[in-house]
Amino acid sequence: MTTNTDWWKGGIIYQIYPRSFMDSNADGIGDLVGITSKLDYVASLGVDAIWLSPIFTSPMKDFGYDVSDYRDIDPMFGTLEDFKTLVMRAHELGLKVTIDQVLSHTSDQHAWFEESRQDKTNPKADWFVWADPKPDGSPPNNWLSIFGGSAWQWDSRRLQYYLHNFLPSQPDINFHNDEARQAQLDNMRFWLDLGVDGFRLDTVNFFYHSQGLEDNPALLPGEQKTMGAPHDNPYTYQRHVYDLSRPENLTFLQDLRRLMDEYPGTTTVGEIGDDFPLERMAEYTSNGDKLHMAYTFDLLNKPHSPDYIRSVIHNMQDIVGDGWPCWALSNHDVVRMTSRWGEGEDPVAYPLIAMALITSLRGSVCIYQGEELGLPEAEVPFERIQDPYGIPLWPVFKGRDGCRTPMVWDESKLGGFSTREPWLPIDARHLPMSVASQEADPQALLHKMRQLIQWRQQQPALVNGELTQLALENSDLIAYIREYESERILVVLNMTGQSQYASLPLAIKDIIDGHGFDSTLDDQSLELPPYQAFYAYV
């Protein structure tokens, strides 16, 4: 296994959604033994690490993001011994293991909350965010839950409201309480001692709230709704000043970094949902004393024109500075990229050029399971919807189940995922795109993805280099230089379905091949066929 303690910087992380990766015990739900059985496949892609979405003990009202025991595996997924075996096998294959950590809130079935809600004087009475009602009995302020309605839930035992930024069954921990705060750091140490190499920190800017409980201001007319929620959700109607991204968060992140530094080679990537996400990313990843990197949502939405992508790169360079982003095109919360960006595009060539984009940007990369196969968003009928976020907002927002359906390993009816009807249905369109089907076809997308990823991992400038954008005369092309030590690589991307031409404004020393793309350079005139990339030393 590599001894590079900065493996995460420019690293490629493969996200696994455990419920939907591989079912080993025929209950229709994926598990840790199933994941372990497929780690050879993941390693064959050439990635550096895996990221496991939540596997902790949970009532699963939000599919593991409602934790009832931070130090055990939910029986649905297996046991702690199964997890140790997974970590050992991953490390044998040269894969790092990162896991989700949901620190901002617990399940209402967590022992901490069950004690806290009993009365106002018990040892954990102040471990959660409690507040008295207004004189008329209404909630303390206007804060809203991302999942709909007020962020406050009445509790008849304490005759108080408790805060929940998500489901009412997900009470928020009070990070102003030093004991609660330390308990969460201790929980992270538990997993580090088991050999975990890093954490993806859920809602990393939600840890603290304003103790004054002030009302959030409404957005002014014409102000952009930028929060990471659908725009038909009233949550986006407020400017989130007092309920998240509080200044105290920085001190906690510094404490967290000191803990991580005790375990060389470990890393953190924070999920930031904020009105000003790039500013938060800069704040949370700067100076090398807080998060190692932060997850960016800028490529997880619908805009994807060359102008938009150039603006994202510019803003990242201008605002984030020495901070470090982690790019993704798909994950377990958004419509799959092949459907979101690639509708109407070539179903093989477009996912590949999109992968060329994020693997050549300055930053680290997350690939979501099935992305290497080019899977489109699955169709899930309303009667099979599981997502608590989607049910009340249907049909305008169908929830997140369409990107969470099981991985397809072969073309059999259940995709080789299970021998029993899975928890979410398999879209029949996915079956011909299965791993087995694509492995058998030398021209399939999977082979092209594997070639691109493995080639990129051998290019120090693409892994670690600084980025400088180039303005070409043809605005349909995206171009930049990646520079590391004495190596400078020019990257030009044609993400359109038409051939594109441009005169290059700098001399080419040598064209780089091995990545699988095709282009023609005549003197300084570049011809890029549809969905092709060009790489050269300059």
Annotated catalytic sites, by residue?
202, 262
C-alpha gyration radius of the chain: 23
Tell me which residue has tokens 């590079």: 4
- Candidates 415, 538, 449; CA nearest to 486 is 538
- Contact in structure between 402 and 336 (CB atoms under 8 Å): yes
CA 472 – CA 440 distance, rounded (Å): 40
- Contact in structure between 147 and 203 (CB atoms under 8 Å): no
Token pair for 165: 């930024």
Strand partners, 502: 526
Q: Which backbone phi and psi does 320 adopt, to 5 degrees?
A: -80, -30
CA 144 to each of CA 66, 169, 207, 239: distance values in angstroms, whole numbers, following the listed order: 18, 15, 16, 11
CA 131 – CA 300 distance, rounded (Å): 35
- Candidates 333, 271, 337, 262; CA nearest to 299 is 337
**CB atoms closer than 10 angstroms to residue 264:** 9
CA 364 – CA 362 distance, rounded (Å): 7
The residue count of the chain comes to 538
H or E element at residue 33: helix 32-37
Q: Which backbone phi and psi does 15 adopt, to 5 degrees?
A: -85, 130
Please, what is the Cα angle at 238 between 233 and 244, to 5 degrees?
100
Helix (H) and strand (E) counts in the chain: 13, 21
Token pair for 105: 């809130």
- Candidates 241, 74, 225, 233; CA nearest to 143 is 241
Q: Which backbone phi and psi does 50 adopt, to 5 degrees?
A: -115, 155
